[in-house]
Structure 1
Amino acid sequence: MEVLRIILTQSSANYKKEETILNKMTYPLPPFSTVIGAIHGACGYKEYHKMDISIQGKYDAMHKEPYRDYCFLNSIGEGDRGTLVKLNNKNFLSTGFDKVAEAKKQQGSSFREGTTIQVMNQELLTEYRELKDLLDRIKDFEENRVDKVLKLIKKRKKDLADKKKKVKENKEALNVVLIREKQIKELEKNINDRIKAYKVNEYEIPYSNFAILTTSLKYYEVLNNIELIIHIKSDKETLMDIKDNIYNLKSIGRSEDFVDIKDASIVEVVDTIDGPITSEYSAYIDYNLIKNECVFLKLGDKITANGTKYYINKDYVIEDNKRIFNKKKVVYTSEYVAEEGSENLHFDISSEKSYIVNFN
């Protein structure tokens, strides 16, 4: 069976574990979905091209690389901290913002009062303070004017409800009460709607453009001096297309994790070999191959291979506007041995090196 073998190196890379948030941990090898996505990007594919992937490789070391993480807080409250900013577009936090002022202390700073802050844009800070003053006036108006009127309306509605019970047998009198009740309810609704509309348009919408930006120091796990051997199984046309476009593959992992393509060749993989092969690379091996003792760890006698079990994303389907990933149950292991092929276990034999190829 003909497949495409790609050999590449990276000086550094982070293959982010999707479940890590605070610090971005890395897989020891890129997930299948990461490689498949990078290949689709290199070829300019707009639709999914079905393919199976074998990934093996090694790296020299791992270190932690610091980065500054930016976070927008959900609300601006008392005890201001971080940096007050005005967003260019509140619906897209990443499109940019203008810095207004920065709190100089973790506690006790106030953008409104000007306590222990560094002002960066006085005009925007004045706008922010005027909005806070406007909210105070709205609250005062609601408490001292609107609430009193609404209480009178509530009392009037209760009086009309009692009156309806008394005149329910008198259609003419009941109709007068119902008309007045409708007028009272419309008045109540009109007052509430006008107050709400004013508050939304004059305060809430302008104020929502302001946010608090905080920063913290976090870390990437970064692998160093990586060598990857990737085998791809697909139809002939797709394999040739990937081979022709492989030098468009710029990175795997982060955008700055550049790749250096050493070789891309169509090779023949076989199912039978003369004797057992020991891999010099680590790899993602199908869990069932290890469970069924098709792959062994070389420690003298044959024993079941040990390693780290992962559920690795490969591809996905969209259901209810959500990506549902097809996860492969694999074991990350090294120094493993195989001596006979199976449905998804093959061998790439060359004069220089021989590879155990497990397609997932």
Structure 2
Amino acid sequence: MKAIRLKLYQEMTNYKKPTSFQLKETYPLPPYSTIIGMVHALCDYNEYKEMDVSVQGKYFSKVNDLFTRYEFKSGMTFDGARHQIKVEEFGISRGVATTELLVDVELLIHIMPHDQRLITELENALLYPREYPSLGRREDLVVIQEVKVVDILEKELEEDIELEENYTAYIPLKLIDSGAVILSGPDAGIRSRGTKYKLNKNYELVNYGTKKAPRVFRKWNKIDVLYTSNIIASEYETILIDEDENIVFAS
């Protein structure tokens, strides 16, 4: 199988957790859905293209940034005691909220389309993007440092392969459970040392209403992963690697 390998840099970014509101918390790495969304936008795809994604990287620090927050409720009329903005007869509240930002983010991403005929199309869209790419919020611009087509090999390792120093990754739990990936460091005896996430990948539209009164929502396909560091692909185990012996945590 072939894949597109990306090396990306972002000065500041927020990969928002869906359940955070007053403080817009960020994931430590972009979730699968965020990466897939960027790729589909750059390729002008109007329907979902099946693909697997591997995500690893690091960031230097976190900071908090203020932003202006607007709140309104459908049909609420303007009340001078609680609203700062009047739009016709309706009222809008304006206040301050906080966004969590990652600083100096480096990412190593593998994108593996199920339809291998898309490889050239994906490569061209990323090499010559139609607009400046962003990952996270619209304003979180990406510097693309490398776009390379690589071979992905399923290989039984003759020796351990360690992740790049200080790099973290989203590891599908099945790789931890099978023993193909082990964790080193001071807590090496703990098999699942790290943070478990259920990450969004792709969705289907489901109508929970009726034909006459449809209520359509996104039903997300979620992937169970472990976010962790000090990662080693174990010798004598079979795992995916690229042609330059980077570990691929495909999901």
User: Which TM bucket (shorter chain)?
Assistant: 0.7 to 0.9
User: Who is 1:83 aligned against?
Assistant: 84
Contact 1:341–1:347 (8 Å) recurs in 2: no
- Aligned pairs, number: 233
Query: Per-residue displacement from partner, 1:115-159 (whole Å, max 9, x unpaired)?
Result: xxxxxxxxxxxxxxxxxxxxxxxxxxxxxxxxxxxxxxxxxxxxx
Q: 1:73 to 1:355 in 2, by over 3 A?
A: same
User: Who is 2:179 aligned against?
Assistant: 293
2: CA distance, partners of 1:83 / 1:300 = 53
User: Who is 1:202 aligned against?
Assistant: none
Corresponding residue to 1:238 among 118, 131, 134: 118
Residue 63 of structure 1: CA displacement? 0.4
> SS of the counterpart of 2:246?
strand
1: CA distance, partners of 2:174 / 2:85 = 54
Contact 2:85–2:94 (8 Å) recurs in 1: no
Corresponding residue to 2:170 among 274, 284, 288: 284
TM-score normalised over the length of structure 2 = 0.86
Percent of aligned pairs sharing the same letter: 35
User: Who is 2:48 aligned against?
Assistant: 48
Alignment-mate amino acid for residue 95 of structure 2: S
Query: Per-residue displacement from partner, 1:177-221 (whole Å, max 9, x unpaired)?
Result: xxxxxxxxxxxxxxxxxxxxxxxxxxxxxxxxx122212211111
Corresponding residue to 1:356 among 244, 247, 251: 247
Corresponding residue to 1:273 among 157, 167, 183: 157
Contact 1:56–1:282 (8 Å) recurs in 2: yes
2: CA distance, partners of 1:84 / 1:258 = 31
Residue 239 of structure 1: CA displacement? 1.6
Query: Per-residue displacement from partner, 1:242-272 (whole Å, max 9, x unpaired)?
Result: 1011042610001111011111111122223
Residue 302 of structure 1: CA displacement? 5.8
2: CA distance, partners of 1:236 / 1:48 = 15
2: CA distance, partners of 1:13 / 1:224 = 7
Name the structure with the higher helix share. Answer: 1
Does structure 1 residue 330 correspond to structure 2 residue 213? no
> SS of the counterpart of 1:275?
coil
Contact 1:49–1:238 (8 Å) recurs in 2: no
TM-score normalised over the length of structure 1 = 0.61
> SS of the counterpart of 1:358?
coil
Contact 1:295–1:337 (8 Å) recurs in 2: yes
User: Who is 1:111 aligned against?
Assistant: none
Q: 1:236 to 1:288 in 2, by over 3 A?
A: closer
Structure (1 or 2) with the larger CA radius of gyration: 1
User: Who is 1:120 aligned against?
Assistant: none
Alignment-mate amino acid for residue 145 of structure 2: K
Corresponding residue to 1:312 among 180, 199, 204: 199
User: Who is 1:59 aligned against?
Assistant: 59
2: CA distance, partners of 1:59 / 1:80 = 43
Contact 1:295–1:305 (8 Å) recurs in 2: no
Q: 1:268 to 1:85 in 2, by over 3 A?
A: same
> SS of the counterpart of 1:37?
helix
1: CA distance, partners of 2:204 / 2:187 = 43
Q: 1:214 to 1:259 in 2, by over 3 A?
A: same
By relative contact order (CA 8 Å, sep 6+), the higher-ranking structure is: 1
1: CA distance, partners of 2:48 / 2:67 = 34
Q: 1:85 to 1:346 in 2, by over 3 A?
A: same
Contact 1:6–1:230 (8 Å) recurs in 2: yes
Contact 1:73–1:214 (8 Å) recurs in 2: no
User: Who is 1:214 aligned against?
Assistant: 93
Q: 1:290 to 1:212 in 2, by over 3 A?
A: same
